[in-house]
């Protein structure tokens, strides 16, 4: 298996240290705090370890504090309910003695029922698009180092944006973005693994859609962004090692917050998962932004 994907799977595989208490490591991916998707994926993994015979269908999380990428995270699971068909778990992620995330997740015994879903947007397929790491070769000199590292470092997923990123100029764009995503190598058939990896990757790109109408440049260093909450629904079985279209729109930005919605479609056009996120989006003086190395602790 590709080393970066293997490392991510190991990152999402938690150590049990007591009944309902688990511990996971952290990784620095170039952001000023632990990547939110890492905490989401690990929190879902912790909840899954307390459930048998049921599959996650939704999670709802609040980011409370900045995570420290140099320290492990402890996950405490509350087995809130086990009903005839559904189970609910509450998870608190703790670091340095303080909660950094609260999450509730719901699980269901698989069953059949009514079926319909939204249509996939009419966009080019992944084979006709350039990968993000190829687009990143066009980075101008003025792009901040943390963004340069974030875009060019090897990832466990391949990203192919439908609209090429303009790294040089400010553009006013519709608050809509589409990107094809898949893991860089084949994975086992375990559905919980694919769900954990989707939870991880669902935090990519989502909040950024709320900035598109406002002529903000990728090379600018005057925007403070931090996820406040995140929700994810799993509608159908899927494979994260096969192409999924992440279709994102942002219907609102106000009060220094952006709100975005996402839908994951497989290549056959079937909706397999949906997401929403609201986050802090502040445009400030660049000197002030450079001092805000800890946005989740200060929002």
Q: In sequence order, what are the beta bridge partners of 123?
A: none
For tokens 């709802």, the residue is 60
Going by DSSP bridges, is the β-strand pair 244-254/55-63 parallel, antiparallel, or unpaired?
unpaired
Count H helices and E strands in the chain, helices first.
7, 12
Which is the catalytic residue, given 203, 221, 241, 249?
A: 203
For tokens 């470092």, the residue is 153
Which is the catalytic residue, given 38, 227, 247, 260?
A: 227
Phi then psi for residue 215, to 5 deg, are 55, 45
Which is the catalytic residue, given 95, 263, 274, 277?
A: 277
Is 203 labeled as catalytic in the residue annotation?
Answer: yes
Paired tokens of 73: 């995270």
Residue 67 to residue 80: CA distance in whole angstroms:
25
Residue 8 to residue 222: CA distance in whole angstroms:
31
Is 241 labeled as catalytic in the residue annotation?
Answer: no
* Degrees to nearest 5, angle at CA 238 with 35 and 36: 10
CB 125 within 8 A of CB 267: yes
* Degrees to nearest 5, angle at CA 295 with 291 and 299: 120
Is 38 labeled as catalytic in the residue annotation?
Answer: no
Going by DSSP bridges, is the β-strand pair 21-24/98-108 parallel, antiparallel, or unpaired?
unpaired
Q: Cite the active site residues.
A: 203, 227, 277
């Amino acid at each position: 298996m590709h080393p970066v994907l293997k490392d991510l799977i190991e990152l999402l595989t938690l150590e049990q240290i007591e009944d309902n208490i688990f511990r996971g490591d952290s990784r620095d991916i170039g952001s000023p705090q632990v990547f939110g998707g890492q905490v989401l994926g690990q929190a879902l993994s912790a909840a899954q370890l307390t459930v048998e015979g049921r599959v996650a269908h939704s999670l709802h999380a609040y980011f409370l504090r900045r995570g420290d990428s140099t320290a492990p995270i402890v996950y405490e699971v509350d087995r809130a309910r086990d009903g005839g068909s559904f189970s609910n778990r509450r998870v608190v992620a703790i670091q340095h003695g303080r909660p950094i995330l609260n999450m509730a997740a719901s699980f269901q015994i698989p069953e059949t029922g009514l079926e319909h879903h939204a249509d996939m947007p009419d966009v080019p397929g992944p084979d006709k698009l350039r990968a993000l790491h190829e687009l990143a070769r066009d980075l101008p000199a003025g792009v901040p180092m943390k963004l340069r590292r974030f875009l060019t470092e090897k990832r466990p997923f391949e990203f192919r944006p439908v609209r090429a990123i303009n790294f040089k100029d400010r553009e006013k764009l519709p608050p809509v973005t589409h990107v094809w995503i898949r893991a860089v190598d084949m994975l086992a058939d375990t559905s919980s693994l694919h769900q954990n990896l989707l939870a991880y990757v669902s935090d990519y790109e989502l909040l950024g859609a709320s900035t598109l109408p406002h002529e903000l440049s990728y090379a600018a260093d005057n925007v403070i962004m931090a996820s406040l909450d995140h929700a994810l629904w799993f509608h159908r079985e899927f494979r994260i090692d096969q192409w999924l279209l992440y279709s994102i729109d942002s219907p609102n930005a106000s009060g220094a917050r952006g709100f975005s919605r996402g839908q994951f479609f497989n290549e056959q056009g079937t909706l397999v998962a949906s997401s929403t996120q609201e986050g802090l989006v502040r445009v400030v003086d660049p000197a002030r932004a450079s001092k805000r190395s800890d946005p989740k602790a200060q929002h």
